[in-house]
Amino acid sequence: MNMRSVVLATALLANLATAALAQNSGDTIAAPVLRANVTVSSDLVRIGDVIDNAGTAAQIAIYRAPDLGTTGSLPTEQVLSALRAHQVIGVDVRDLREISITRLARTLDAKNIEMQLAHALEHRGGLGDAANLSLTFDRELQDVRLEASNTGAMEPISVRYDPRQGRFDVTFEIANERVGAPMRLRFTGTAIETVEAAVLARNIERNELIKSSDVVVERRPKTELGGDAARRDRVVGMQARRQLRAGQPLKVADLVKPDLVQRDQTVTLIYEATGLYLTVRGKALDGGTEGDVVSVLNLQSKRTVTGTVIGRGQVAISVATPRPAAMADAASLPEPEQAAAPVALAATSNSTSALKTE
């Protein structure tokens, strides 16, 4: 074969090859393309995670994934080097200098974990409702990150509580949708029941009235107060039985109704009988609240009488049998005052007797 024949044959073969390639262009495998952002749900990063069109190499692991719920980055050159080691070449990097890899996770926040623990412990060993439990952990409680496949609810599988020491030991199980073995979480610490208590914001002296600004509401251990805790709405306006200090939770036994009559206070003595109503000024020898029996000095007769506190600065004089006509002879009754003392006197139409001041 001469040189001219060789050239013609070569040209023909080239033309046939070009035609064959053009005919089969629809069957050409797409080139692998590098991804800028990658998310994985396991602890390994595979070739199919970092590039599109990975083909049969997709399941080959090339890196360890970042920590649960975190994101890391890799230089493009480092990724290409790892791919070439597995005969993956011709990757379109799209001018990327680095890629980011995020590992998916399920996060259990600390507040939700504490709530689940309280529900697991409520009504055990004498404890009350979950909302009233205060938990202290042996190790600081923090958010917990799990594999994204741990989609199950927190199910308590072991709950122990020692009421003498207040200790708890609780284990939860969380199902995994991809594997048979569930995740287990264990928590230990102490649990106490608390109640809302009215706590003093300042020192209070004996017999001092408690104002709204003197009281704040705090949760305190139930054992500290027992069943005698005073509620805020029952505290304001009451009177302290004894000296109380700031920060002290108030008990019902610490409080009394406020004195409507103070010792040495000028009060109004009231005598009321059938057909007659008489008031006289007196000086209280005792202090007392509504319903208390106190001694009062009649400022006109200088005699001491006893009566019942019925209002602020008011004491009612009681007698066994009202005898309006014989009031002047009753030693226990107050006498009408001189003109200088105010007297309120009213008689009904059927009264045949009258009193006058001299």
For residue 184, pLDDT beyond 90: yes
* pLDDT in the model for residue 350: 38
- Token pair for residue 193? 């029941």
User: Do 95 and 220 share a domain, yes or no?
Assistant: no
pLDDT tens per residue, range 17-31: 443 433 444 455 688
Split at pLDDT 50, 70, 90, the class of 98 is very high
Portion of the chain with pLDDT greater than 90, in percent: 58
Is residue 92 a contact partner of residue 51, using CB atoms and an 8 Å limit?
no
* pLDDT in the model for residue 246: 94
- Say how many domains are in the chain: 3
pLDDT tens per residue, range 6-19: 333 333 333 434 43
* pLDDT in the model for residue 259: 81
> Does 300 fall in a domain?
yes
User: Do 64 and 150 share a domain, yes or no?
Assistant: no
> Does 8 fall in a domain?
no
> Does 310 fall in a domain?
yes
Is residue 150 a contact partner of residue 41, using CB atoms and an 8 Å limit?
no
pLDDT tens per residue, range 114-151: 999 999 999 999 999 999 999 999 999 999 999 999 99
Is residue 268 a contact partner of residue 315, using CB atoms and an 8 Å limit?
yes
For residue 332, pLDDT beyond 70: no
pLDDT tens per residue, range 60-81: 999 999 999 999 999 999 999 9
User: Do 79 and 140 share a domain, yes or no?
Assistant: no
Query: In 3-state terms, what secondary structure has residue 93?
Result: coil
Phi, psi of 345 (to 5 degrees): -135, 130
Comparing 86-100, 193-207, 237-251, 334-348, which segment has the lowest mean pLDDT? Answer: 334-348
- Whether the model clears a pTM of 0.85, i.e. scores above it, the answer is no
> Looking at residues 186-202, what average pLDDT do you find?
94
Distance CA 192, CA 163 (A): 9
User: Do 114 and 241 share a domain, yes or no?
Assistant: yes
> Does 28 fall in a domain?
no
For residue 338, pLDDT beyond 60: no
Split at pLDDT 50, 70, 90, the class of 344 is very low
- Token pair for residue 260? 């409507």
* pLDDT in the model for residue 326: 45
> Does 13 fall in a domain?
no
> Does 25 fall in a domain?
no
Phi, psi of 291 (to 5 degrees): 95, -15
Distance CA 128, CA 146 (A): 31
Split at pLDDT 50, 70, 90, the class of 178 is confident
DSSP tag of 310: E
The overall average pLDDT reported for the chain is 82
User: Do 77 and 144 share a domain, yes or no?
Assistant: no
- Token pair for residue 318? 């009681």
pLDDT tens per residue, range 229-275: 888 888 888 889 899 999 999 988 899 888 888 888 999 999 888 87
User: Do 216 and 319 share a domain, yes or no?
Assistant: no
Query: In 3-state terms, what secondary structure has residue 166?
Result: coil
CATH of the domain at 296: 2.30.30.760
* pLDDT in the model for residue 348: 38
User: Do 279 and 210 share a domain, yes or no?
Assistant: no
> Does 150 fall in a domain?
yes
User: Do 244 and 292 share a domain, yes or no?
Assistant: no
* pLDDT in the model for residue 28: 58
* pLDDT in the model for residue 118: 97
User: Do 119 and 81 share a domain, yes or no?
Assistant: no
User: Do 201 and 292 share a domain, yes or no?
Assistant: no
> Looking at residues 213-236, what average pLDDT do you find?
86
Burial of 119 from C-beta contacts in 10 A (0-12 / 13-18 / 19+): middle
Query: In 3-state terms, what secondary structure has residue 304?
Result: strand
User: Do 215 and 109 share a domain, yes or no?
Assistant: yes
DSSP tag of 24: T
> For residue 65, what are the domain limits?
33-103
* pLDDT in the model for residue 319: 59
User: Do 193 and 61 share a domain, yes or no?
Assistant: no
